[in-house]
Amino acid sequence: MSKIKLGILGIGNIGTVHINNILDGKCPEVELYAICDLLDEKMEWVKEKLPSVKCFNDAEQMMDSGIDSILVAVPHYDHPKYAIMAMKKGIHTLVEKPAGVYTKQVLEMNKVADESNVVFGLMMNQRTNCIYRKMREIVKSGEMGAIKRTNWIITNWYCPQAYYNSGGWRATWSGEGGGVLLNQCPHNLDLWQWICGMPTKIEAKLHYGKWHDIEVEDDVSAYVEYENGATGIFVTTTGDIPGTNRFEITLEHGKLIADGTTLKMWKTEMSEPEFSRTNTEAFGWPEVVECEVETDGKNEQHAGVLNAFADAILNGGALIADGREGINGLTISNAMHLSSWLGKEIVVADFDHELFYEELMKRVATSRAKTTVNTNVKVNMGDSFK
């Protein structure tokens, strides 16, 4: 087999990106075999542009059409639902971010993945960015010593009210299941834990509809602690213009700062703890060397993730992100919400998946969205697969 036979479930904005990447020849080991969406006008577009591709408006029918792999690009609540359905049928599964809306359903999805003999990936395309790959490489190598502090100000997610008005499901508890944390920031939360590790404690202040006429969070300030005593701050919003993207990690031998396009390093020859112990000058200062870190310049994004997925199926290659890892960033997101709702610190190891689900469903019950949530994990698609 030289190519995988891929079915794409959902051809909204991101589904269309994947289709175009394949059509543009960016994914040579991927055959676009089938597409499924609820909207007839979208399927008419596919039939006209891609007459050889099988078209469906029923997900299970597409899964039974001869595909060996699927890319799930439907609304957030249904990511686990269709991933589980596909994996139980023996279909290799790639899920768009986030892994789901709440950890309870993602744990169920991961359990099925463990029981299935399939490749299970997550579309964490920012992991292909050379800046963040290099940042992780440096941190994990230990050359800069242990982490002391992390700080990510990621406020360049500006959205005007018109964005939220563009769909009745947007920025609602029943439609998306959250705001900036669940829609804009899954990549940042994933990179944060991928590079720095999972925090042990989380406390967050969230503002709901502070800058927009929406019911979910659009302004977040969170504080975390790590196992070694390091601390971290995460700040995000969709209300700032111009916004900022500054990810800073302070370590024993200096610091790293990424702004999305460059990675800079300030490095000391002697670690700060050792210098503090041995220095005899009241205002002593270790020598610091500043430089811009060289990377390989590669940033393959969505096509890179899909190519790695195909390679894992065909050749046993490595995924960009194993689907099971989606639980990590989602746990951070859910813990921030729960901390805000309960007004207290959340210990990650003791995270109450059932309590979070119950609190979320309270908000779903009064949501303004034109969708309905089945409290047994599932939600309707609303207007279309997005």
Three-class DSSP category at 81:
helix
pLDDT at 374 (0 to 100): 41
Q: How confident is the model at residue 211 (pLDDT cuts 50, 70, 90)?
A: very high
The amino acid occupying position 320 is I
321-328: average pLDDT: 98
Helical H runs in the chain? 13-23, 40-49, 59-63, 79-88, 103-115, 130-141, 161-165, 180-183, 186-196, 272-278, 301-315, 326-342, 353-365
- Mean pLDDT, the chain, as a whole number? 94
* Cβ contacts of 311 within 8 Å, gap of 6 or more: 29, 317, 318
* Cβ contacts of 82 within 8 Å, gap of 6 or more: 9, 59, 70, 72, 74
Residue found by looking up tokens 């207290």 in the block:
344
The listed CATH number (3.30.450.20, 3.40.50.10420, 3.30.360.10, 3.30.43.10) that belongs to domain 127-297+329-365: 3.30.360.10
pLDDT at 369 (0 to 100): 76
pLDDT digits (tens, 9 = 90+) for 229-252: 999 999 999 999 999 999 999 999
pLDDT at 13 (0 to 100): 85
pLDDT at 370 (0 to 100): 52
Q: Rounded to an integer, what is the distance from CA 36 to the centroid of its chain?
A: 23
**How far is 267 from 281, CA to CA, in rounded Å?**
20
- Give the pair of three-digit tokens for residue 284: 């002593």
283-307: average pLDDT: 97
CATH 3.40.50.720 positions along the chain are 4-125+301-318
pLDDT at 43 (0 to 100): 82
pLDDT at 12 (0 to 100): 86
Q: How confident is the model at residue 141 (pLDDT cuts 50, 70, 90)?
A: very high
Per CATH, is 4-125+301-318 categorized as 3.40.50.720? yes
200-216: average pLDDT: 98
* Cβ contacts of 111 within 8 Å, gap of 6 or more: none
pLDDT digits (tens, 9 = 90+) for 328-378: 999 999 999 999 999 999 999 999 999 999 999 999 999 987 554 443 333
